[in-house]
Structure 1
């Protein structure tokens, strides 16, 4: 057993310094060597140190902790069996070893991060991550695998997609030396495909989505296979291979209809709408967005529902269906008032199109001083591009050619930098 790691874990957990734990037993320098596994002390020394920490040195549970229940809980979390996961979590919390044993506590906290993310408690998950990170130097390789995986998933939820991808790649590196089950391997590949898609590593995303798909098909997991097809559809769409994109989406439609998965149906009709809009088929795009919305209203997040409403506004505006556009703008405001979203970003979208339709005299000022700077700060280039083009056209109409050219150049530069924008990721 690695006594040093256990001692350091409980010392840090109890808020003791090395001086406080070592006082009257050994020197702080010697304790440091023990904690770093640079020496093996006499059993009498270990007994005294354990006693000061309130631990039983002879308790066999500290020597041979079982992770079976924890792994069972983790599997429930990964496969989103929420009710079962909640019940088993409470059972685990009641067991003394879960919170007092070094190994069990570390795994419980690492798995709890993912459980909190499943429950959409992102900030609480971040606090749990900060707490467990202080014990990182006591981790074995298996713990490091789950730590990097949890970190990658947390960063994904917080919108740090590039960091998410890098952390998940670290987890993949550790998975080589850790016994990872096939369902965990497919989960890791899927998360890599997600994060690489969002960080615009399209080839990598296609590669990992294909890897995950192959494993999910072997497991006869139709739901996760459909998720992989959605990602593949998004990435092929970004490569402007619309035929391949729609092929994947239609496969999802078949699977989701067969499994009665309303969430996936909502996603897929929305994403077909995205492809049709990019092909210039605005009427067809509208039909698919409208088809998506009832499914999304029942199953999707407030953000996803607003995304479809936003797209309905955009396509109606392109078709000069201004009355329909105004109706969807009002529906957007109503949705924001009843949602838990941070509404600033979404209100800007609604305000812009409302002002454009009403030919508001302050539209140019609003775009220049509020909308475009906001999306620049948020690092959302596709909206900077969209609104830069709009304000450029408005300025040209007022014969402000110099300023018009400035915003057109901004849009062109961003288009050259981000040539593969588009799609909706789960």
Structure 2
């Protein structure tokens, strides 16, 4: 009986004992049976108990069903990446005491963790993960949603892509209807340069986003697929595809998607040696983002890199941008970009010896520790060349060994 659940919740919430609640109305035993839904109870008795608890049963029943609907809408807004709607619904839920009733507590905690993950509020995410670690007897849906949350956490917060994949691959699709996790799998595989699997899961995610009619997420999935095709596609095709997606995002006012598309297109242009156009698109990505945006530093670093390679920007302007990057990275405690901006600073100032000393003793070990494959390969080759030029064969061989491991094959020749 729903009325019994509501009475029990408010009695415990207001720290009222059963005997005190029932005094002059009914016995403690009867209160216990009402709360457990084991007895019929008159409307008059319910009204008297509600009056003592200072609640209106009709309103609380409406709130109960409203919570169920709001939780579904909240999760949907998070999946579709509609932050304004997600924020509004959270505020609505925060004002409803009944949210803490046992029926909703776990669902609310899971969705709240997703909400904090979407805002990269790491402290709250880790606090809730610790709380959920004490849970037992999870439903199949709760178990799978928790796996999804852990996958996103290791993907976005820890940058531990292999752990992210291990959690996401455990999800049982027959017990979990949110196929959004295909996109997270695709991002994780993209991050370890497994292009075929990244494309495969991005395509599955695209079909899901089409089903739920999330235009912004469709663009994200298509963009991720495009990134995988870059290795085999010609530049003109890539440009037209990026331009198409950028125009679509701009037409629908999708700011974060525009920023991401400009950033990825800039990187594509950078790889193809068009440094001037690359710097222009990186600048657009920077302008779209606030400094507290977790992707701001990446776009700013790319902008500095493209400008430096283009060679038409003054040393003073470049160092000013680097200073902004260093200060922002320090404030965010982002060691990855602290290393990148420090390397830029040393290079722009022409301090080659200090550049390679810092790279060898600080930046490269960090990239290796974090498992960042592309920086490890790029800087490993740079350090190999540097030591070869200096005649430091022992140091050069140490980096050569690491580079050769990538190409080692398990062949069975004589």
> After TM superposition, is the score higher than 0.5?
yes
Aligned residues: 357
Confirm whether residue 362 of structure 1 aligns to residue 363 of structure 2: no
Contiguous gaps of at least 5 residues in structure 1: 11-46, 418-426
Q: Residue 127 of structure 1 aligns with which residue?
A: 127
Task: Map 1:7-406; keep pairs closer than 5 Å.
Answer: 56-58=35-37, 67-101=68-102, 103-135=103-135, 137-158=136-157, 159-171=159-171, 173=172, 175-177=173-175, 180=177, 184-185=178-179, 187-237=180-230, 239-243=231-235, 245-297=238-290, 301-319=292-310, 321=311, 324=314, 327-338=317-328, 340-357=331-348, 358-406=350-398
1:98 and 1:219, CA in 2 relative to 1: closer, same or farther beyond 3 A?
closer
User: What's the offset of the Cα at 1:227?
Assistant: 0.8
Decide whether the 8 Å contact of 1:381 with 1:414 is kept in 2.
no
Q: Map Cα deviations across residues 158-212 of structure 1 (whole Å, 9 max, x no partner).
A: 22222222322333x1x3145x3xxx43x23323322332243322221222122
Q: Residue 37 of structure 1 aligns with which residue?
A: none
1:195 and 1:134, CA in 2 relative to 1: closer, same or farther beyond 3 A?
same
- Structure possessing the higher radius of gyration over alpha carbons: 2
1:401 and 1:305, CA in 2 relative to 1: closer, same or farther beyond 3 A?
same
Alpha-carbon separation, structure 2, partners of 1:343 and 1:188: 26
Q: Residue 28 of structure 1 aligns with which residue?
A: none
Decide whether the 8 Å contact of 1:368 with 1:391 is kept in 2.
yes
Deviates more, 1:159-168 or 1:352-361: 352-361
User: What's the offset of the Cα at 1:392?
Assistant: 3.0
User: What's the offset of the Cα at 1:301?
Assistant: 4.8
Decide whether the 8 Å contact of 2:185 with 2:201 is kept in 1.
yes
1:225 and 1:82, CA in 2 relative to 1: closer, same or farther beyond 3 A?
closer
Alpha-carbon separation, structure 2, partners of 1:233 and 1:126: 33
Alpha-carbon separation, structure 2, partners of 1:304 and 1:387: 22
User: What's the offset of the Cα at 1:381?
Assistant: 2.6
Query: Which secondary structure state, in structure 2, belongs to the residue aligned with residue 176 of structure 1?
Result: helix
Alpha-carbon separation, structure 2, partners of 1:68 and 1:384: 48
Alpha-carbon separation, structure 2, partners of 1:270 and 1:288: 7
Q: Map Cα deviations across residues 278-301 of structure 1 (whole Å, 9 max, x no partner).
A: 22333433333234332235xx75
Q: Residue 42 of structure 2 aligns with which residue?
A: none
Decide whether the 8 Å contact of 2:286 with 2:296 is kept in 1.
yes
Query: Which secondary structure state, in structure 2, belongs to the residue aligned with residue 56 of structure 1?
Result: helix
User: What's the offset of the Cα at 1:351?
Assistant: 2.5
Q: Map Cα deviations across residues 327-346 of structure 1 (whole Å, 9 max, x no partner).
A: 33431222332463214332
Contiguous gaps of at least 5 residues in structure 2: 10-27, 40-59, 410-414
TM-score (norm 2): 0.74
User: What's the offset of the Cα at 1:109?
Assistant: 0.8
Aligned Cα root-mean-square deviation (Å)? 3.6
Decide whether the 8 Å contact of 2:182 with 2:201 is kept in 1.
yes
Query: Which secondary structure state, in structure 2, belongs to the residue aligned with residue 120 of structure 1?
Result: coil
User: What's the offset of the Cα at 1:236?
Assistant: 1.7
1:389 and 1:323, CA in 2 relative to 1: closer, same or farther beyond 3 A?
farther
Alpha-carbon separation, structure 1, partners of 2:216 and 2:154: 24
1:167 and 1:405, CA in 2 relative to 1: closer, same or farther beyond 3 A?
closer
Q: Residue 19 of structure 2 aligns with which residue?
A: none
Decide whether the 8 Å contact of 2:304 with 2:321 is kept in 1.
no
Query: Which secondary structure state, in structure 1, belongs to the residue aligned with residue 242 of structure 2?
Result: helix
Alpha-carbon separation, structure 1, partners of 2:232 and 2:320: 33
TM-score (norm 1): 0.72
Task: Map 1:407-426; keep pairs closer than 5 Å.
Answer: 407-414=399-406
Alpha-carbon separation, structure 2, partners of 1:196 and 1:398: 38
Query: Which secondary structure state, in structure 1, belongs to the residue aligned with residue 170 of structure 2?
Result: helix
Alpha-carbon separation, structure 2, partners of 1:121 and 1:389: 37
